[in-house]
Structure 1
Amino acid sequence: MIFLFLLTLTNVGTTFSRNVNVAVLLPFDDDRLFSLKQIVPAITLAIDEINNRTDFLLNKMTVRYADTKCDIAYGINHAIEFYMKGQVHAFFGPVCDFAVAPVARQVQFWNLPMISGGAMARDFFVYKDTTYGMLTRVGPVNFETLSLMFGKILNHYKWNRLKLLYESSGQDYIVTGFCHLLTEALHYDLLTVHPKIEQDYFRLDEGVDMDYILAREIGHHYSRE
């Protein structure tokens, strides 16, 4: 996928620049999903393959890297720096959803393509033809397909009540806000596709009494058939 994306860029870059410049915006923290260390080998192989061929590329492809820290501010800051220095024709990343959003909105004004292995949140699908028109998602999973799966399970077993419990910082080591974004997607997707299903959601704060929460929030209403 990386090779095909970079190959497409060569047809764009040769018309106006000696080099095709790709800005890679990824977290450098190895514990993060799609960290730089995990992705660099694939990018290096793709770049070497393209630069060593002369049948379709007259120029060279250059890649520059910056650490987003999976943070909403760092990603857009680096993107602006690359753009102002004239060092980017396309963006690879960010991947963390809160880092993706401002960059994906901005590249529309720059008319620059962006590819992300993340961007799992519902908004990236709902507004893909408007707000995020220059973003291409290539990740292995996204939340709208997960919502479809949940909908099919509920229909199959004829369940018509659903209560979503989530932790505000749950699974943040993967992507910041992961559980919040997942719950939001499930809630609104199911409201749209299965409006007859009664559902609600509740955030579990740190240190809560689970016995009390289960009795109050789940109780007999959501636990019975």
Structure 2
Amino acid sequence: MSPKIKELIDSCLASVQMSQFCDQRLQSARAKSCKSFGIIGSIAAGTWQWQQPGVTNGSLSQLQLLLLLGLGLLCLGGCQARCREEPARDCEAICNAAGGNCSIRALVLLPNDDGYEASLQRVLPILKVAEQQIRNTALIPPHIDFEWLAHDTKCDASLGVIRAMDGIIKQCAQVIFGPVCDYSLAAVSRITKYFNSQGTPLITVGGSTYDFEQKKTDCGDEFYMLLRTGMLSFESISELTINVMKQHNWSHSIFYYERDGQRNVAGLHTCFLMMKSLGKQMRNENMTFAQYPLESNVMNRSEEMRREIGNKHSIL
């Protein structure tokens, strides 16, 4: 095992507060900085140099890295995450006071419906496989157990909040995986900074909309404690679209979309949220942007397009 990873894990087990692991104050911030930030950042960026034989960035799947990031984030609570004064509960520690019964309780918030790409039935088995592969490479000590606490959010914002509160209050979860559906993710990730005494990190492959791209470095930020690991965002798709338009000297556009298209990816209004991000970036580029949601019961698309495009958006 890499000595730095071992140092990070051992420090987690020694004290959930991590006070002995925080050794430097930032000049412009009231919070402390931790050595583990550098470790986590390099793992996430794919630049970490593994010292364990046979273990490389390429040999670790994205889900394996997610589990390591989750473990690392648990170590940061006493350093920077406190957003309210709340006494810690005994169950928040990975190990009990005697140093035994070490367990990481991971709350998984996903819909129990295979109509969605990221469902409990699909994701839970993969998380468990990733856990086993990490154990096989001895990246975490064998005496630390993972307890997966699965909750069905039905891709609903209100239910997602209730499930998250149940997992934190009743089961004392220490880290959250999901939600993926954007509305549910927004509702849950706004309040995770107040869960437990030090806040609760939330890791997701979702959060593609523009709002999730904003700064998340202190308690005043809306989605503080949210870590997005997705490969692609609506901002990236928007940048690609704008670059193609610039290559062709196009500045006027109208976009047709199905309001609930791609619902299986991010829940309700996925395409609408994509258009929102695209429109914001195009207006920043002084481009003319118009959008038109297609009605599912309309059969004559040609007439619909002729009416909406008209002379304003057509090339004469």
TM-score band by shorter chain is 0.7 to 0.9
Quote the Cα distance in structure 2 between the aligned partners of 1:51 and 1:61. Answer: 11
* Partner of residue 115 from structure 2, selected from 31, 35, 45: 31
Match of 2:231 in 1: 140
Partner Cα distance (2:112, 2:92) in 1: 33
Determine if contact 1:34/1:117 at 8 Å carries over to the other structure: no
Length-normalised TM-score, structure 1? 0.88
Give SS of 2:271's match. Answer: helix
Map 1:101-180 to 2 at 5 A. Answer: 101-110=186-195, 111-129=199-217, 130-176=221-267, 177-180=269-272
AA aligned to 1:133 is Y
> In the TM superposition, what is the alpha-carbon distance from 1:146 to its structure 2 partner?
0.3
Equivalent residues in 2 for 1:19-58 (5 A)? 19-50=103-134, 56-57=140-141, 58=143
Residue among 207, 211, 218 paired with 2:297: 207
Classify the secondary structure of the residue corresponding to 2:190.
Answer: helix
Q: Which runs of 5+ in 1 are unaligned?
A: none
State the distance in 1 between where 2:150 and 2:69 align: 20
Query: What is the root-mean-square deviation of aligned Cα atoms in Å?
Result: 2.4
SS at match of 1:214: helix
Q: Supply the AA of the counterpart residue of 1:31.
A: G
When residues 15 and 31 of structure 1 are mapped into structure 2, their CA distance, relative to the original with a 3 A threshold, is closer
**d(CA) in 2 for partners of 1:77, 1:55:** 33
Q: Does 1:189 align with 2:189?
A: no
Counterpart residue identity of residue 204, structure 2: S
Report the alpha carbon displacement of residue 204 of structure 1 after superposing the two structures with TM: 2.6
For residue 273 of structure 2, what is the amino acid of its counterpart? L
Is the CA contact (8 Å cut-off) linking 2:204 and 2:230 kept in structure 1?
Answer: yes
Deviates more, 1:167-176 or 1:103-112: 167-176
> How far did residue 128 of structure 1 move?
4.1
CA drift of 1:40 comes to 2.1
Q: Which has the larger radius of gyration?
A: 2
What do residues 57-92 of structure 1 show as CA deviations (whole Å, max 9, x unaligned)?
A: 343221110111111122111100011114310000
Report the Cα distance in structure 1 between the residues aligned to 2:308 and 2:105, rounded to whole angstroms.
Answer: 52
Which piece of structure 1 moves more, 181-190 or 134-143?
Answer: 134-143
Distance in 1, Cα, partners of 2:104 & 2:262: 36
> Is 1:96 equivalent to 2:96 in the alignment?
no
**Ranges in structure 2 where 5+ consecutive residues have no aligned partner:** 1-61, 76-90, 96-102
Give the TM-score taking structure 2 as reference length.
Answer: 0.64
Letter in 2 for 1:69: K
The percent of aligned pairs where both chains have the same amino acid is 27
Looking at structure 2, the residues matched to 102 and 16 of structure 1 have their Cα atoms a distance apart, in angstroms, of 26
Q: How far apart, CA to CA, are the structure 2 residues paired with 1:59 and 1:80? A: 24
Aligned to 1:16: 93
CA shift at 1:51, angstroms?
5.4
Q: Deviations over 1:18-65 (max 9, x none)?
A: 211100111121121112222223211222345567774343221110
Q: C-alpha deviations, 1:160-217, integer Å up to 9, x for none?
A: 101122222223233321111111111012212x12x112222233434534432232
SS of residue in 1 equivalent to 2:203: strand
Aligned partner of residue 264 in structure 2, secondary structure: coil
Alignment partner of 1:174: what SS?
A: helix
Matches of 2:190 and 2:259 in 1, distance apart?
Answer: 25
